[in-house]
Amino acid sequence: MLQVEGLTKNFGGLTAVGSVDMGIRPGELVGLIGPNGAGKTTFFNLVTGYLRPSAGRVTFEGKNITGKKPHHVAGRGMVRSFQQDNVFAEFSALDNLIMAAHLHSGVSFWQSILKTPASRHREMDIRQKAEETLELVGIGDLADSPAGSLAHGHKRMLGIGLALMCQPKLLMLDEPLAGMNVSEVDDTLALVRKLWEGGLTILLIEHNMRAAMSVCERFFVLSFGRKIAEGTPDEIRSNPEVVKAYLGTAADVA
């Protein structure tokens, strides 16, 4: 589904991401893990069009999307979430999702301004879809709250809801668990699993290795911008490179 070949990004002399290859097949739930500063988010930005790669190629469903704009990538069905600025702060939670239905609103510029009966009807459908999505991500009771005033965990859930409103084929979550408490982590993981079981292909970036291990069936590991391992949770856990890069520091603590 997603095919990345030799993806590279240099910032001046620093190589943030160096010739990374990876592939995701339809229906997979894949984890992208690595220590802080490994280039995970840079990789995400390269794939989704927020950064232009220095070299390499990104293919989605057989189409070359290297260097395409983010809105174009989203239009193709590859939709991401953000760690920061992940909601429209001044809109209510429900309006956030209504806004996010942009791609599939089926309402043209002029129809929307003229408020034609057809567009009103569509907007009713969207509103209903938004309410359902809000329930799905577990904040149905916060529909009218301004998104900027939501608790951190609720904002993150709303952020996932925004991505879902785009009807993605591939959902890319950027550290959805960061800063969450234990019960929020459980809820989020349960949601990710539920979405995956519903047929969605998911790429999950996670710093929290244990949490990622509990849901993902396959992993890629980045360290200092390079892919150092790939495989099942068991293969990753027993890979000496990964242990050195990732758990090495943790071992000191233990």
Using a 10 angstrom Cβ sphere, with 0-12 exposed, 13-18 middle and 19 or more buried, the burial of residue 85 is exposed
Amino acid at 131: E
Least distance in Å: CB of 87 to another protein? 7
State how far the Cα of 131 lies from the Cα of 125, in Å rounded to an integer: 10
Residue bearing tokens 């790669």: 53
Binding map of another protein across residues 60-79, x = CB under 8 A, - = no contact = ---------xxx--xx---x
Q: 130-169 mask for another protein (x: CB under 8 A)? A: --------------------------------xx-xx---
- The token duo for 90 is 């001044």
| Binder among 48, 66, 201, 239 for another protein (CB under 8 A) | 48
Tell the smallest beta-carbon distance from residue 69 to another protein (Å). 7
- According to DSSP, the residues that pair with 8 across neighbouring strands are 55
Binds another protein (CB under 8 A): choice among 5, 21, 28, 123:
123
End-to-end CA distance of the chain: 40
The residue behind tokens 């234990």 is 182
Residue from 54, 67, 103, 213 in contact with another protein (CB under 8 A)? 103
The answer to whether the beta carbons of residues 57 and 4 sit under 8 Å apart is yes
Using the rule CB under 8 A, which residue among 8, 59, 61, 102 binds another protein? 102
- 214: contact with another protein by CB under 8 A: no
Of positions 29, 47, 94, 100, contacts another protein by CB under 8 A: 100
Scan for tokens 């095919």, then name that residue.
Answer: 3
Helices (H), the chain: 40-47, 70-76, 93-100, 109-114, 117-136, 152-165, 182-197, 209-215, 233-237, 240-242, 248-253
Stretch that binds another protein, among 5-13, 105-113, 201-209, 211-219 (CB under 8 A): 105-113
Give the residue, chosen from 50, 57, 186, 230, that forms a contact with another protein under the rule CB under 8 A. 50
Q: Which residues inside 167-206 make contact with another protein, applying CB under 8 A?
A: none
DSSP 8-state secondary structure symbol assigned to residue 150:
S
| List 40, 68, 80, 155, residue binding another protein (CB under 8 A) | 80
| CB under 8 A, 24+ apart: contacts of 246-252 | 246/33, 246/34, 246/35, 246/209, 246/221, 249/35
Contacting positions for another protein (CB under 8 A): 48, 50, 69-71, 74-75, 79-82, 85-91, 95, 98-100, 102-103, 105, 107, 109, 112-115, 119, 123, 162-163, 165-166
